[in-house]
Amino acid sequence: MALNNSYDARLVQQETAVGAGVQILLLAVIGTAIGMGPAGWLTGLVFAIATWAVLSRALHRSRLRSFGAANRVTLGRATLVGGVTALVADSFQDSPPVSLFVGLTAVALILDGVDGKVARRTGTSTPLGARFDMEVDAFLILVLSVYVSMVMGPWVLLIGGMRYVFVAAARVWPWLTAPLPPSTARKTVAALQGVLLLLAGAALLPHAANVAVVALALGLLLWSFGRDVLWLWRTSRPAATAASAVAAPEVRRELVAG
């Protein structure tokens, strides 16, 4: 039985290695097509290696016996995000072809709605798969916000950095880590971020319209995060009060005993 478990683990790990290989192949195709510079190559390779390392470690900890079709879709989307990341890094030296940038990003955004459906239909939903999907989404939004900020200014980075600020804040205030109730509004706002940033990044509209589009994305995100933080804070107060009420008699007993 131990041999079978070991063999299954190796098979799962092999899929992450294949993903890294496909990522490098995509970088080679992009690099050949547009003559990508060192910054794009280095960033793309770092993304591929980091994705492989983090995902391999997470798979080892979760002990999944099968990688799963949904995770394969997410891994494919991560590969596209790696290509977009390389293009954005390269854009600091030379603007990438808009059609290539839009194409890779659009496919990655479309696939965002596929992996969840595949997981539900195949009954292979896992906490790792959900976390993997969320991290790929968050990083794509961060990369798109960096790209758009080069034209509109650093305020756009608030969109890409907000989720990471929330995670950092949760280390200081643990009540932020409590599970949130399902919300269609939250999912809709999250999905719109990539679409609106891509629209602005494609520069299809006048500059003023693009600014309005990004401002709308930021406003919606602030509303969504603000609503969730307020809900978490309100929910944490009764729990803290109850914990204090339980602890108070214990403290009194200790004082009497002392």
pLDDT, residue 253, reads 54
**Over residues 139-157, mean pLDDT:** 96
Q: Which residue has the higher pLDDT, 19 or 223?
A: 223
pTM of the model: 0.86
- Determine how many CB atoms are found less than 10 A away from the CB of residue 141: 21
pLDDT, residue 250, reads 52
Q: Is the pLDDT of residue 256 over 70?
A: no
Query: For the segment 150-174, what is each residue's pLDDT rounded down to a tens digit?
Result: 999 999 999 999 999 999 999 999 9
pLDDT, residue 258, reads 54
What percent of the chain shows pLDDT beyond 90? 62
User: Could you give the CA distance from residue 36 to residue 31 in angstroms, rounded to a whole number?
Assistant: 4
Query: For the segment 68-105, what is each residue's pLDDT rounded down to a tens digit?
Result: 888 889 999 999 999 999 999 999 888 888 999 999 99
pLDDT, residue 257, reads 55
User: Could you give the CA distance from residue 212 to residue 34 in angstroms, rounded to a whole number?
Assistant: 31
The enclosing H or E element of 239 equals: helix 207-257
Q: Is the pLDDT of residue 248 over 90?
A: no
Give me the amino acid identity at 32.
T
pLDDT, residue 239, reads 57
Q: What is the token pair recorded at 48?
A: 């591929």
pLDDT, residue 2, reads 41
What percent of the chain shows pLDDT beyond 70? 88
Q: Is the pLDDT of residue 249 over 70?
A: no
Specify whether the CB–CB gap between 197 and 214 falls below 8 A. yes
**Over residues 196-208, mean pLDDT:** 95
pLDDT, residue 3, reads 40
pLDDT, residue 240, reads 53
User: Could you give the CA distance from residue 66 to residue 13 in angstroms, rounded to a whole number?
Assistant: 10
